[in-house]
Chain A
Amino acid sequence: MDKPLTKNIDMSRPPLEIAQYQAAGGYESIRKIAAGLAPADVLQQVKDSGLKGRGGAGFPTGLKWSFVPMGDNAPREKYLVVNADEMEPGTFKDRLLMEGDPHLLIEGMIIAAYTIQASKAYIFLRGEYIRAEHALKKAIAEARAEGLLGSNILNTGYSLEIVLHTSAGRYICGEETALLNALEGKRANPRAKPPFPQVSGLWGKPTIVNNVETLCNLPGIISHGVTWYQGLGKGVDHGTKLFGVSGRVRSPGCWELPFGTTIREVIEEHAGGMQDGYQLKAFLPGGGSTDFLLPEHLDLALDYDVIGKAGSRLATGTMILLDDRTCPVGMVGNLMRFFSHESCGFCTPCRDGLPWIEQIFVDLEEGRGSEKDIGILEDHLGYLGPGRTFCALAPGAMAPLGSALRHFRQEFEDHLSSKGCPYTRH
């Protein structure tokens, strides 16, 4: 099976240097472009490939790019920004790519920037990803020395500079417009949409913000073609995806698998199944801001629509497993504390709603909860729901909360009747 994203990754050794990377077929896509692919051609291929954004929303990448104004009347300055601020709870897939094969990201960036004709690209990197920072810095320098970055790349007349920016932190910087504000040196509050970044983004100029994994898909598409790419998947969506598992499994980790792989296969074959003495109770299929799914969903295929129809989201594709000996209320409370703390403080429901929720969980845990509190939690589901808040942070937080209240109502009640958490810590 082809693994275009991770074929060069071997975490037991340093990532490939540029010579080895090229020897393994790296930067072939750039040479193909230099040989005569116009931006519009690249755009068409990406559109045809059916590539969807891997940051969580699953928006078609080619469509996103097509909103960027092109041609002579388009603004001269445009930007590509890589969202490498991977902070979704339970998510560690971009880290693998950047630490394991930094040149793949750079190659993808050149393709994307060339397509929208951006002359500058920024990597907005999570501050704690120090190994990724070192790897990327080295790779950028190598690519520049090789003439793959800088002015007049491979005599195409096209020039590109990459700036690596390490974030000062905060989950909200993963929201693409908050990321842009942070990059401009402003408070990391999200921006109103519309206008979308494709029209008015970084420094007010047309900007594409793409996730690391999304960009890493591009070299394969351009080098090997759309047909090859579409042949990778087993299900509805095309290509491969990094899927991760955390929780009480035998070997938690992250693997590149085709779309359409079943959840059961990921958990049982790749993650080695549950540890002894633990049963799977439920799981968040795509990181901390997705709805719980139950063991009955294990045979679903990992495709955006399939998971969507089951009432959750594929999102980042990194699952967090809840076992039968861990308190679901405690798990959700932990997530609520995270989301509450990471609210930027701009809009009212998120800023003032999440801390209340967080406090209710503390009270439930410490035996001070009441039936009224559960009502207040339910009240907040709608109040912090999609369309009510300024960005998707609070609705994301409501996904695990709402599904937990549906699936684990008894556990919530138990916290009231037993004046605290009935689970024993272990």
Chain B
Amino acid sequence: MKKLLIMFFVILMCMSCKKDNQNVYLQQEEISLVQPRIEVSNTIIDSFVTLVAKTGTKGTEIYYTTDKSEPILSSLKYVTPLKIFEPGVYNFKSFHPNWKPSETATITFYKMGYQPTDIIWYTKPNEKYKGQGRLTLVNKKKASLSYGNPAWVGFDSVAIAKVVFNNKMMVKNIDIGFLCDPQSWIFPPSEITLYLNDSNNNSDKIITLVDGLDSMVPSTMKNINIEINKEVNSLRIVITNLQHIPEWHEGAGNKAWLFMDEWIFN
């Protein structure tokens, strides 16, 4: 009995010493996983596209939703690559028994829109980020999250272009995709103006103001949908980059970058 008691005390002593020692090192529950890596064949759906979600940490499980809600442990579990037939918003999140869950990776799929016959540019993108030629924004290929991806067209000033269709056609709305990456000084545009049929009449002008950012957010691909519901054979599009980066940002007062891809006409 005496021996047992001594043994018990030794264990107790070790535990108390151990606690002090342990505090030095970072614990897993203090650190988040990186959001899942999403690779897709395309985000503009003709018949279907394929999606692969990856995580580099052993023991991690990926859950996803298709109703814009945050994935939780009871959401759909990602097991094998997905075939996606329907446009919509897909959210993915990594979970692990020890590490903190990741942020949510969001990817939006679009239906193939009308194909314009031409784009005439009145302003030029920055020399370093000029995409893959003048049709980059309507080439049915969406850029990835990295601003270095050649599918992005980057502007440090206003972007003005005219989009021309073959015939006059009913355009319900337009999707304008852009990158939101304030760490790299890339912000949403401040204002988008559409001139229907290249006219200057007020009745054919649609002005949309875009919400800015009020804090540092992780890099995301965003999209703004503008209702048109008119017959058009051309559209002049004027997109103004943010002229003054807000006070909370290290680049306060400077012009922000505007990175776009892609324009879809529905």
Chains A and B form a bound pair = no
Residues of chain B touching chain A, judged by Cβ–Cβ distance below 8 Å, are none
